[in-house]
Amino acid sequence: MFNTGLCNFDTRCNQQDMNALLNFKQGVTDLSGVLSSWTTQLDCCHWKGVICSNITSRVIGISLPCSTTLPIYRDEEDKSHCLTGSIHLSLLLVELEFLEYLNLRNNDFLALQFDYDYLHNHNCHNLSIATSSHSQCVNSSTLRHLDLKLNENLVINNLKWLSYISTLEYLNLCTVDLSEETNWLQLVTKLSSLSVLAMCDCQLKDLSLSLQYANFTALQFLDLSGNEFKSELPKWLFNLSSTIHSLYLSSCSLIGHLPKDLLNLRELEELAMEDNNLDGPIPDWLGEFEHLKTLILGLNMFSGSIPINLGNLSTLITLDVTSNPLTGVVSERNLAKLSKLKSLYIYSYSTLIFDFDSDWIPPFQLEKLALKFSNPNLPTWLYTQRSLERLTIWDSSFEAPHKFWQFVSSMIELDLEGNLIDGDMSNVLLNSTIILISSNGLKGCLPQLSQQVKIVMLSNNSLSGELSPLLCGHNVSNGKNNLLYLDLSLNNISGGLTNCWKNWKSLVAIHLGSNNLSGKIPPSLGFLSNLNSLHLHENKLHGDIPLSLRNCRSLLVFNVRNNQLSGNIPYWISHGVLALELRSNHFSGKISPQICEMSSLIVLDISQNTISGHIPNCLGNIKTLLFNNVSRNKLSFIFHSRVPYSYLFSYYSLELVTKGQVLEYGKNLHFMTLIDMSSNNLSGTIPPQMFSLIRLHSLNLSNNKLEGEIPNEIGNMKNLESLDFSTNQLGGEIPQSLSRLSFLGYLNLSFNNLTGKIPSGTQLQGFPVLSYMGNHDLCGPPLTKSCFPDDEHKNSELVHEDGNQFIFLTWFYIGLESGFVTGFLGVCCTIFLNRKLRHAFFKFLYDLKDRIHIMVVTNINRFS
């Protein structure tokens, strides 16, 4: 509708409009110079994003959406080049008198300013949102299109300002935080001209169930997806204008049955309600919609069978009933009249039986198909679909003959994960752009890949043989392969890594872990300058890590745990690396200070090697571990395919030892921060600078030869959840500051030379005895060993507040006990050293014994 080419070359900018735009620019933070052309030296009609009328020369539109082309290896958009700061909306609406179009989509604005006093001073007298006296101001705005979508950090506390923009026809606030606005529906319904309303993912919670009617007289498109309504469908929804053709209520936590009142929306063309808690049967009256093109009911709790009446929707293009506990039979009767169908998704948590006539030829040609079935064979009609671009089959068991692989070779995307497909891949050519066939029963040698393939995941199968036929075959062309993601982990692949990696320079991620690979890491891996993730763990690789890998400057994750690699730690690896896992190898030498230059590290695991020397002081310089507010990079990327569908591929998972056990971190890996240097030959003291890493969650220095005391600075690590210093030679007392670590869930200080009392009154008493055992001079709960004179100290302190009196009593008791012992020993020595006294003493004892015996016998005889 609008474009920057509306202005003629000789259009002259209005001075008032220019001043308004410059004032707007002052409230905007523009780090990348998006608004660099907004200067008085250039006519404002030629400024970037400014649209002027070629008749009046007045500004009628501002179009400044931020283009964020996702790097292939990240799943977080980098918006550092986008506009941020504040949107001074009231200024734009007042000063730009003819503004009709405002598009600030996908930026990073933080606040929207709407100054009612400013409006009053300029245009509106006696403005009061609570009364009708502001109605004369409402018509002063000419804005018809407002798009603030994808400003995820933008918080708008209320929408009262909408009353000033009654001319709005298009309003898109998707992903804007509106959690504070509880009256949103009543305010939006005042926009009588509104035809498009998109408020998805806005953290709305109230659907106004008590409201009977909503005054949307012109509404055609309504999207409220991604909000937490947790209610039934409201009555006002069924009384919308007959003009509405698109209704999106996905992921809203809706409950209850689908009411038949939905049929009031006779002109409905798109109905999307997936990912809710709707239950009951899928109503057969849905087949009465005459114009329905899209019906999406997946990810709910619908039960029963798929109604045959859905087969009457002759206009239907997309049908999605996946991930419901549906049962019964699906046959050609369910799909009989769907001649325009392009996308079909039938997948049930329960058992659906496919009973199609083997000779049936569908009236449609699908582009996308997702199935789950219990039959041992594929439906024969599948082979009639010559336009199929994306095929998904889940949780099914079927044979895949050579005919099947030839059929799917023409598709763009092939997702067969989690089935029980039994097939030999030795002579198969995979040709799809995206190939996901993990967790099946595939066997034989590796298949061949065409130049079209970008993503291939064949992990967790029974594939064998070597890598050479795949990477070095005759069909591999230099520089023309487009492969981005290769996952062959959890198979039985053997042999070496080959040296043909220079033919695969586009690779971003390589997953070859948990195989039987042997030999050395080839230098040709250094040709992969785009490589972000390299997983070679749990193989039989040996030798040094080649220096050529320093050319992989984009490397984020380097995982070679559980091999037989040797040499020094590769400190020359990319300084931007996020996870470095080298555990269980034969690495030796010292920890070089160069490791501190890896300023982005969140996982450093060099445990179970033979590394010696001291821990560098500079570890406290790792920036990502110094601050809690560091942005957390997710170790994955989104791949956007030709078909409108996005795939999220991970660089993980990593197995990490934390909290005394081996834990696997997958999608939550980017939240984990860990340093593990355990089971090496490290010596010296623990540098206090290490405890400035306040973002660290897990620290393990156990099984080394560390000495000295535990630095008091350990209390700075407020986020620490797991701490293991066991089996070292640490001495001194446990610092009191350790008790300040409120998130600490695992502690092991056993088998050191720690002394004194375990700090009391904290969670440190809640850890088991095993956490402290092997420290002979450590005392206090939870250990059974008391700290003398701990008990006396407590009792005396309750009675005597004065410290001097307590000291006096302590020494008094000590003197009394010492005097008694000394006197007793003196008497004993006198008796035993003097012969006459000794004989007299023993004679006295014998006489005493006889008297007692006679007395006892006499008394017994008397009573008897």
* Residue range 211-256, pLDDT digits in tens: 888 888 899 999 999 999 999 999 999 988 778 999 999 999 999 9
More confident residue, 131 or 53: 53
**pLDDT score for 757:** 94
* Residue range 567-583, pLDDT digits in tens: 999 888 888 889 999 99
Give all strands (DSSP E) within 396-555, no chain letters.
Answer: 413-415, 429-430, 434-436, 443-444, 448-449, 455-457, 462-463, 485-487, 494-495, 509-511, 516-519, 533-535, 540-543
Specify which residues 535 forms β-bridges with.
511, 559
771, amino acid identity:
S
* Residue range 673-690, pLDDT digits in tens: 999 999 999 999 999 999
Mean pLDDT lowest among 94-103, 358-367, 596-605:
596-605
CB 752 within 8 A of CB 774: yes
More confident residue, 262 or 628: 262
* Residue range 497-544, pLDDT digits in tens: 998 898 899 999 999 999 999 999 999 999 999 999 999 999 999 999
What pTM does this model have?
0.80
Task: Report the C-alpha gap between 67 and 641 in whole angstroms.
Answer: 18
**pLDDT score for 822:** 56
| pLDDT classification of 806: cutoffs 50, 70, 90 | very low
Distance set, CA 590 to CA 26, 330, 567, 680, 858 (Å): 53, 66, 10, 10, 88
Residue with tokens 């009231």: 90
Mean pLDDT of 600-608: 93
pLDDT at 367 over 60: yes
Task: Report the C-alpha gap between 499 and 507 in whole angstroms.
Answer: 15
181, amino acid identity:
E
* Token pair belonging to 325: 């506990």
Burial 781-804 (b: 16+ CB within 10 A, else e): bebeeebeeeeeeeebeeeeeeee
CB 519 within 8 A of CB 496: yes
Domains of the chain: 1-68+81-204 (3.80.10.10), 213-388 (3.80.10.10), 586-595+610-787 (3.80.10.10), 807-863 (no CATH)
* Residue range 705-740, pLDDT digits in tens: 999 999 999 999 999 999 999 999 999 999 999 988
576, amino acid identity:
G
Q: What are phi and psi of 566, to 5 degrees?
A: -135, -170
End-to-end CA distance of the chain: 126
pLDDT at 355 over 60: yes
Closest CA to 487 of 537, 554, 535, 538: 535
Mean pLDDT of 138-159: 88
Q: Within its chain, how far is the Cα of 849 from the centroid?
A: 86
**pLDDT score for 252:** 96
Distance set, CA 481 to CA 205, 427, 447, 504, 526 (Å): 49, 20, 15, 6, 17
Task: Report the C-alpha gap between 462 and 490 in whole angstroms.
Answer: 8
**pLDDT score for 767:** 93
* Residue range 169-222, pLDDT digits in tens: 999 999 999 999 999 999 999 999 999 999 999 999 999 988 888 888 899 999
Distance set, CA 747 to CA 654, 694, 752 (Å): 22, 17, 13
Count Cβ atoms below 10 Å from residue 493 Cβ, excluding itself: 22
pLDDT at 632 over 80: no
Mean pLDDT lowest among 498-512, 619-633, 834-848:
834-848
Which DSSP state fits 522? P
Mean pLDDT of 97-102: 95
Mean pLDDT of 134-139: 44
Mean pLDDT lowest among 559-563, 573-577, 819-823:
819-823
- Residue 154 CB-density burial (10 A; 0-12 exposed, 13-18 middle, 19+ buried): buried
pLDDT at 479 over 60: no
Mean pLDDT lowest among 14-23, 76-85, 143-152, 411-420:
76-85
Q: What is the mean pLDDT of the chain?
A: 85
